[in-house]
């Protein structure tokens, strides 16, 4: 099996690469590339994302044909794809970081700034927080409810269809931290920085 981490210059993804290689244990080939043919021929894709919604969308758009290739992979061919952090947020129709920016439109909804309740809650939301698993998701196999995951974000994804939400976390309000829609998975937290439980989630994705 061939799993590709999409490298589109969205910040440092070395911890994503290292943790996927560790979870793959040489049984799965992990490739890191922006080559469209390699992406097309992959069995699964990982879409990381660091920085702002707009900067990540701009970075995807700057590689000719990449967004079309991702659409073909996830929406037409329905192969498994995991979005991490801004990688998940880009599933939305629109993001409101910096300026209104169009997302991939895979899961209808928007990305807005977390309501910090007049500075009662620090932004960005950084650190460990427990997650509430609210629907059975294949990437949470053998992961306990209330497990702790690592977060770094100031914006949250608000999907229109609540049935796509697989986990939430409590920070100023109930924040969506994981989604699943058919073959599309996304986590707001960073599994690659979430110790052995994060590695288990990565392993679950590789084993789909």
Active-site positions? 85, 190, 192
Residue with tokens 């969506």: 176
Token pair recorded at residue 148: 């702790």
DSSP-derived letter for residue 108 is: -
Tokens 């801004």 correspond to what residue?
Answer: 86
How many other C-beta atoms can be found within 10 angstroms of the C-beta atom of residue 121?
13
* Residue 88 · residue 157 · CB < 8 Å: yes
Label residue 96 exposed, middle or buried (CB < 10 Å: 0-12, 13-18, 19+): middle
Alpha-carbon gap, residue 204 to 208, rounded angstroms: 6
**What count of other Cβ atoms lies within 10 Å of the Cβ of residue 69?**
20
Name the 3-class secondary structure at 185: strand
Q: Return d(Cα 124, Cα 153) in angstroms, integer.
A: 5
Q: Which two tokens stand for residue 160?
A: 């229109």
């Amino acid at each position: 099996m061939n799993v590709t981490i999409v490298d589109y210059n969205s910040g440092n993804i070395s911890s994503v690469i290292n943790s996927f290689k560790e979870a793959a244990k040489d049984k799965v080939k992990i490739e890191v590339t922006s080559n469209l043919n390699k992406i097309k021929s992959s069995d699964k894709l990982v879409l990381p994302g660091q920085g702002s919604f707009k900067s990540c969308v701009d970075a995807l758009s700057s590689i000719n044909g990449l967004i079309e290739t991702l659409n073909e992979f996830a929406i037409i061919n329905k192969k498994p794809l995991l979005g991490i952090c801004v990688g998940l947020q880009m599933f939305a129709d629109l993001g409101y970081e910096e300026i209104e920016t169009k997302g991939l439109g895979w899961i209808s909804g928007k990305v807005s700034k977390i309501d910090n309740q007049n500075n009662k809650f620090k932004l960005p939301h950084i650190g460990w927080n427990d997650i509430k698993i609210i629907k059975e998701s294949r990437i949470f196999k053998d992961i306990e409810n209330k497990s702790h995951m690592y977060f770094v974000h100031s914006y949250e994804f608000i999907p229109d269809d609540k049935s796509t939400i697989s986990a939430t976390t409590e920070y100023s309000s109930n924040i969506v931290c994981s989604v699943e829609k058919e073959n599309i998975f996304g986590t707001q937290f960073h599994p690659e920085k979430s110790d052995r439980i994060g590695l288990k989630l990565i392993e679950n994705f590789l084993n789909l």
